[in-house]
Amino acid sequence: MSQVSRADDIEFLKEQAKTVRIGILKMLAEAGSGHTGGSLSAADVATALYFSKMKHNPKDPAWKERDRFILSKGHAAPLLYTVLALSGYFDKSLLKTLRKIGSPLQGHPCSKLLPGVEISTGSLGQGLSIANGIAMGLKMDGMNSRVYCMLGDGETQEGQVWEAAMTAAHYRLDNVCAIIDNNGLQIDGHCCDIMALEPITEKWNAFGWHVIDIDGHDMKAILGALDEAEGIKEKPTMIVARTVKGKGVSFFEGKVQYHGMAPTSEELERALKELE
């Protein structure tokens, strides 16, 4: 059974997203390194999934009927760790151990070490293929669980993403719902300057996906898109979540240098003031 009941309480989810962002910033500041921008940009979608949409049970991470979440953009590990801890998969005190020797909270998620992590990720472009395989297995077993897969926008520069895009459409994996965290930035700069991605919506449409284009920070829109995806048959769904890198902290927003930089203690203090 899902521990978290379906709560359409938008206000609750907005507050929860704030708590998630605070958790991300604190753990990153403690670790002294890690990916701030992309963890914050995807925080609203992940909050909607873990605290409203997904069937899952933190007391039984291997529950057969659970929905699956694959963080293909594994560098947003601080986000995943925070939503897992807040859900109750492990003690919140573990968040302080991020990136430290002996910690199950590796720099990028490791499924062997941490309950709730479906599969290790970190090397970009590989999660969607894994999500497809899980979706095939679930269909073979007649399960109605869904598979959510979060990709970065820059990540879709990897060719394997498009191999997987074809596979999901070819095998009509309507239990797959992918989300692109389209914050428009990658390590070296703006995606449009490094390797242009647009038109994203048209590309996924052309690959046979049902595409929903939303403001990735609008909680109502996120829930609406996730519900819509569930009703789509014979096709996988791609939610293009238009987001802002570093969202929630004014001096991180849209700043490419905070892709892979953790907040200093002074920055953390200022950030918490903005959020709290």
Partner 1 sequence: MGERIATRDAYGDALLELGKKRKEVVVLDADLSGSTKTAKFAKVFPERFYNIGISEQDLIGTASGLSLTGKLPFASTFAVFETGRAWEQIRQTISYSSLNVKLVATHSGITVAEDGASHQAIEDIALMRVLPNMTVIVPADGIETKQVIEAIADFYGPVYVRLGRSKVPVVMPDDYKFTIGKAYRFHIGKDANIIAAGIMVSVSLDAMEMLKKEGIDAGVINMPTVKPLDNDAVIEAAKASGLIVTAEEHSVIGGLGGAVCEFLAENYPVPVKRIGIKDTFGCSGPSDELMKLYGLTADDIVRTVKQGLKR
Residue 128 lies near partner 1 (rule: CB under 8 A): yes
Asked if residue 186 lies in contact with residue 37, where contact means CB atoms within 8 angstroms, the answer is no
Q: Per the structure block, which two tokens stand in for 240?
A: 């293009």
Residue with smaller CB distance to partner 1, 12 or 171: 171
Among 112, 142, 231, 273, binds partner 1 (CB under 8 A): 112
Residue 118 lies near partner 1 (rule: CB under 8 A): yes
Name the nearest CA neighbour of 177 among 117, 125, 240.
Answer: 240
Tokens 């700069």 — which residue?
Answer: 189
Asked if residue 150 lies in contact with residue 76, where contact means CB atoms within 8 angstroms, the answer is yes
Among 29, 84, 119, 271, binds partner 1 (CB under 8 A): 119
Among 104, 133, 208, 260, binds partner 1 (CB under 8 A): 133
Minimum CB distance to partner 1, residue 190 (Å): 27
Residues 40-99 that bind partner 1 (CB under 8 A): none
Residue with smaller CB distance to partner 1, 70 or 214: 70
Q: Is the Cα torsion angle 75, 36, 103, 89 positive or negative in sign?
A: negative
Residue 132 lies near partner 1 (rule: CB under 8 A): yes
Q: Per the structure block, which two tokens stand in for 130?
A: 């894994």
**How many chain residues touch partner 1 (CB under 8 A)?**
33
Angle at 262 between CA 22 and CA 112, to 5 degrees: 80
Residue 169 lies near partner 1 (rule: CB under 8 A): no
Q: Per the structure block, which two tokens stand in for 204?
A: 């996924």
Asked if residue 134 lies in contact with residue 175, where contact means CB atoms within 8 angstroms, the answer is no
Task: From 10-18, 28-36, 105-113, 191-199, give the range in contact with partner 1 by CB under 8 A.
Answer: 105-113
Q: Are strands 176-182 and 147-152 parallel, antiparallel or unpaired?
A: parallel
Minimum CB distance to partner 1, residue 99 (Å): 17
Residues that bind partner 1 (CB under 8 A): 110-112, 118-123, 125-138, 140-141, 159-160, 163-164, 166-167, 170-171
